Chain A
Amino acid sequence: MQTTTAEEVAARIPDGASLMIGGFMGVGSPERVIDELVRQGRRDLTVIANDSAVPGVGIGKLVSARALSRLIASHIGLNPETQQQMIAGTMQVDLVPQGTLIERIRSAGCGLGGVLTPTGVGTVVEEGKRRIEVDGKPYLLETALHADFALVQAFMADYLGNLVYALTARNFNPVIALAGRTVVAEVEQIVPIGMIPPDHVVTPAVLVDLLVARG
């Protein structure tokens, strides 16, 4: 696979695109691609991610740059700017339970229409959704969530694009790698093909479209 730069990746992402972005409170987010999206002044993005981190970190940089018109996330409590833009009505925020969010993404990546989860039954999360009983137990139908791009951060890749993650920087990354129509992997290091033992590969190279080398 030919490697590319964060600048080229950001240039391929148009205004109005939907992006899944890996990371949990900024840990495991593709910072260089995010920096380029901010620098190139991208607008009207829909971001699907666990959270919006804090101002100045990860997705928080896109929020500060007012690059988002919509955020689908489970938690925004540590980024006051997200809350301000939500209250001002300049950004739509859809709050989704974390376990439901990751399963909706996984469904999209695995060719499923959605999942049945007990989470949210009998709460405001149920509003507008179908309740389906299985063996007498109620579940909500939570539908698959797709995106134009998945922006993945990984610890190591080989030159085919096989990916390995580090510790808790893994989080949403391997799952969004299944679900984006174009998958970008920003990695800390690239090693020759064959250096990563097959058992250690978490994301198979076939899923990765663009590999961003260390800048």
Chain B
Amino acid sequence: MDAQTLIARRIALELQDGMLVNLGIGIPTLVAGYVPRDITVFFQSENGLIGTGPIPEGAMAQPRLTDAGGRPVTAIPGACTFDSAMSFGLIRGGHVDMTVLGGLQVDGSGLLANWMIPGKMVPGMGGAMDLVTGARRVVVAMQHTAKGKPKIVERCSLPLTSARPVDLVVTELAVLALRDGRLQLVETAPGVSVEQVLAATEARLDIAPDVRPMALP
């Protein structure tokens, strides 16, 4: 299983029946493909849709029904559409149960940087700052390192997305959960040791007394 699939499948286990969930672009988008069969989850697209369905087959694409990246999507029965003030009222107001976002850096206290690299890449924060500030649960889906450099660092050198720490970080090596204001190593991926995780991490991690193998469906 490749790194992205592993991360997406692990995060899918965090989904619960009836949740309203927002998925960011990149690895987070893949999570929608692994929703457990016995539950119903409503995905929100921040351009104004609850009930995002699968990507339509070519001719079935409706140009006025797209995801936040402008790509055609479908809407499941019971879906609804709304304007951007409603969309961000839902997000900022704590009505979104869980958001899954990509990350550039996460620090040891769970603070996320994911919207710009000064001088290099300035895409803008889009909805990320509102999502991290307002969603009830924030999950980061990202590779553990970038070009060999740890992305889980003692202190973010990149501009922060929010002063609110994230709740869970899932990488291809490990699952880290926020406990008492620090990231704690709680699960390791198949075939990965605690030492390997620590070696690929710059931040000082707390280690759970019972580190488990990564739960996978």
A123 touches B161 (CB 8 A): yes
A149 sits at the interface (CB 8 A): no
B191 sits at the interface (CB 8 A): no
Residue of B nearest to A52 (CB): B124
B70 touches A26 (CB 8 A): yes
A167 sits at the interface (CB 8 A): yes
Dominant secondary structure at the B interface = loop
Interface centre among A51, A54, A98, A170 (most CB of B within 10 A): A98
A166 touches B133 (CB 8 A): no
Once A98-B126, A119-B133, A175-B85 are accepted as A-B contacts, the answer to whether A168 and B91 lie under 8 Å apart by CB is no
Number of interface residues of B (CB under 8 A): 40
Identify which of A25, A118, A123, A124 contacts B69 (C-beta below 8 A).
A25
B129 touches A120 (CB 8 A): yes
Neighbouring B residues of A46 by C-beta, 8 Å? none
Neighbouring B residues of A193 by C-beta, 8 Å? none
Neighbouring A residues of B45 by C-beta, 8 Å? 168
A76 touches B123 (CB 8 A): yes
B83 touches A171 (CB 8 A): yes
Residue of A nearest to B127 (CB): A98
A173 touches B83 (CB 8 A): yes
- Closest Cβ of chain B to A112, distance in Å, is 12
- Closest Cβ of chain B to A99, distance in Å, is 3
Neighbouring B residues of A27 by C-beta, 8 Å? 47, 63-64, 66, 70
Neighbouring B residues of A117 by C-beta, 8 Å? 92
Neighbouring A residues of B85 by C-beta, 8 Å? 102-103, 106, 175
Neighbouring A residues of B133 by C-beta, 8 Å? 118-121
A3 sits at the interface (CB 8 A): no
B48 sits at the interface (CB 8 A): yes
Number of A-B contacts (CB under 8 A): 140
Interface centre among A51, A73, A99 (most CB of B within 10 A): A99
Chain A window 170-201, contacts with chain B (Cβ cutoff 8 Å), 1 for yes, 0 for no: 11111100000000000000000000000000
A77 sits at the interface (CB 8 A): yes
Within 8 A of B (CB), among A84-117: 86, 93, 95, 97-100, 102-103, 106, 117
Neighbouring B residues of A54 by C-beta, 8 Å? 70
- Closest Cβ of chain B to A118, distance in Å, is 5
Neighbouring B residues of A121 by C-beta, 8 Å? 133, 162-163
Give 26 CB contacts A-B under 8 Å: A25-B47, A51-B126, A54-B70, A83-B122, A93-B122, A95-B125, A97-B129, A97-B130, A98-B127, A99-B91, A99-B92, A106-B85, A118-B92, A118-B133, A122-B163, A123-B159, A123-B160, A123-B161, A124-B159, A167-B49, A168-B45, A168-B81, A170-B81, A170-B82, A171-B84, A175-B83
Which positions in A face B, CB cutoff 8 Å?
24-28, 50-51, 53-54, 73-78, 83, 86, 93, 95, 97-100, 102-103, 106, 117-125, 155, 165-175, 202
